[in-house]
Structure 1
Amino acid sequence: MYNIMLIEDDKKLNSLIRNHLKKYGYQTCCVNDFCDIKTEFIKNNPHLVLMDVNLPLYDGFYWCRDIRTISNVPIIFLSARNSDMDQVMAIENGGDDYITKPFSYDVLIAKIKGVIRRVYGSYSESSLSEIFESNGLFLYLNQNVVEYKSKKVELSKKEFQLLYSLLKNENKIVSRESLLEVLWNDVDFVDDNTLSVNMTRVRKRLEEIGITNVIETKRGQGYKIVPNW
């Protein structure tokens, strides 16, 4: 089932659109905090976004640009503005389509289906999770980037794989053998020293974004991450 994020502050229209999407088998989620739409987007990890242009605080063009810094998910604008310039701005700011209000729900569904067919034609479940979140710490899986409180740092592939493995098993000891398997490939030789060196680097990367003393070494066993940030 495809998850569509609706960013619309008109409660009546919001409800009408959600009910219509539900009839066609779409799952919907809505923004509750219009001051931090990017965080809401990350938490919901939608397949498609329906974005109003006129929003509280910042307009839809601003939030579209913000989302584009972390994701290429399709974004369709919904707006009462019908000028050519607004439609040009929508495309130039990263939008995929633009629908003027009032609109036909049949047209809306057709456009959604068209975008989904184009973007997810060879859709697979494994391609969904571009972002992994743990207690406000965000891992961008296709970029090897970690973010905490708006601070970002890029990790090497090995560093990222180690951190991701620990976070998926937070508060649990991950054995050295399991972590060595994560690092192993046909090109590089991996041993205990390789693991120790990369784990030290992971700790330093986390310190760069303000997170310290969360990875514990369990002598003779492995490592454990305790999310107390």
Structure 2
Amino acid sequence: MYKVFIVEDEPKIAEMLAAHLEKYGYQPYVACNFKNLKQEFLEVRPHLVLLDINLPYFDGFYWCRQIRTVSNVPIVYVSARSGEMDQVMAIENGGDDYLTKPFHLDVVLAKLKSLLRRTYGEYAYSVSSSDILDLSGLVLDRSRFTAEFRDRSIHLSKTEFQLLEALARKAGQAVSRETLLETLWDDTTFVDDNTLTVNVTRLRKKLEELGLGDCIETIRRHRYKLNVQWADEQAAWMGGEEP
């Protein structure tokens, strides 16, 4: 039974979500310690978090960042804020998806099911020796969601890692947005196309920390390509030469 941590300060909404999830076999936990949600999260150890933005003491963006310091659990924002910037901030602060209030309970359930399948179910990655992908010195570790290049390492969210891996496995080739959407989300019915754009932007920023910020190319707005232009430089670097 999957445990869902509901972080919502409106009792009626929290109770409605909890009742609906329980009806379909989930184990809901409604947050009560808004001063220390991170501690409550650690005590509950949920499989997924439904997170509001407007909360007492600290907002949802803050708590999402706090949770990300200890867990890669899927986090879905559920908020009355409908602006694009709020959705961008939600993704940039570590969220996996975004729902706008008022919402339909079946949509919440569909997104929740999709994320849980991706993370724990039949579409989840298993940990094995094949979890390491070395692309001309860019090393991806699926078991830890990390990317390493030369002497630097970055930690990626699950969605960011899946996006980078999908591009890496077809390095040098253009990959359509439709293909990436289907790779990242098994049910794209309720996925906002802007979500992919936001994740690409986040991934580019993180790759900048490795010195690879320009390696993802946008091609006519509908496709993306991972260029391995660092391969020759990596060979020189491994040989002790200045690239």
Q: TM tier, shorter chain?
A: 0.5 to 0.7
Task: Tell me whether 1:83 sits opposite 2:93 in the alignment.
Answer: no
Residue 99 of structure 2 aligns to a residue whose secondary structure is: strand
For residues 67 and 39 of structure 1, the distance between their equivalents in structure 2, rounded to whole angstroms, comes to 9
Task: Tell me whether 1:26 sits opposite 2:42 in the alignment.
Answer: no
For residues 74 and 100 of structure 1, the distance between their equivalents in structure 2, rounded to whole angstroms, comes to 17
For residues 86 and 16 of structure 2, the distance between their equivalents in structure 1, rounded to whole angstroms, comes to 24
Structure 1 segments unaligned to the other structure (5+ residues): 128-141, 144-229
Could you report, residue by residue, the CA deviation over 1:187-216 in whole angstroms, capped at 9, with x for unpaired residues? xxxxxxxxxxxxxxxxxxxxxxxxxxxxxx
For residues 109 and 39 of structure 2, the distance between their equivalents in structure 1, rounded to whole angstroms, comes to 26
For residues 14 and 31 of structure 1, the distance between their equivalents in structure 2, rounded to whole angstroms, comes to 9
Q: What TM-score do the two structures reach when normalised by structure 1?
A: 0.53
The residue number in structure 1 matching 2:45 is 45
Could you report, residue by residue, the CA deviation over 1:114-134 in whole angstroms, capped at 9, with x for unpaired residues? 00011112599xx9xxxxxxx
The residue number in structure 1 matching 2:65 is 65
Q: How does 1:154-173 map to 2 (within 5 A)?
A: none
Residue 112 of structure 1 aligns to a residue whose secondary structure is: helix
Could you report, residue by residue, the CA deviation over 1:35-78 in whole angstroms, capped at 9, with x for unpaired residues? 00000000000000000000001000000000000100000000
Aligned residues: percent identity? 56
- Cα offset, 1:104, TM superposition: 0.5
For residues 123 and 32 of structure 2, the distance between their equivalents in structure 1, rounded to whole angstroms, comes to 29
The residue number in structure 1 matching 2:12 is 12
The residue number in structure 2 matching 1:107 is 107
Residue 113 of structure 1 aligns to a residue whose secondary structure is: helix
The residue number in structure 1 matching 2:119 is 119
For residues 105 and 33 of structure 2, the distance between their equivalents in structure 1, rounded to whole angstroms, comes to 26
Residue 25 of structure 2 aligns to a residue whose secondary structure is: coil
Q: Which amino acid aligns with 1:14?
A: A
Q: Which amino acid aligns with 2:79?
A: S
Residue 106 of structure 2 aligns to a residue whose secondary structure is: helix
The residue number in structure 1 matching 2:35 is 35
The residue number in structure 2 matching 1:2 is 2
For residues 16 and 31 of structure 1, the distance between their equivalents in structure 2, rounded to whole angstroms, comes to 14
Q: Which amino acid aligns with 1:76?
A: V
For residues 74 and 105 of structure 1, the distance between their equivalents in structure 2, rounded to whole angstroms, comes to 18
For residues 13 and 32 of structure 1, the distance between their equivalents in structure 2, rounded to whole angstroms, comes to 14
Which stretches of structure 1, 4 residues or longer, exceed 6 Å deviation after superposition? none
Q: What TM-score do the two structures reach when normalised by structure 2?
A: 0.50
For residues 78 and 123 of structure 2, the distance between their equivalents in structure 1, rounded to whole angstroms, comes to 25
| Residue 12 to residue 39, structure 1, CA distance change in 2 (3 Å) | same
- Cα offset, 1:31, TM superposition: 1.2
For residues 115 and 101 of structure 2, the distance between their equivalents in structure 1, rounded to whole angstroms, comes to 19
Structure 2 segments unaligned to the other structure (5+ residues): 128-142, 145-243
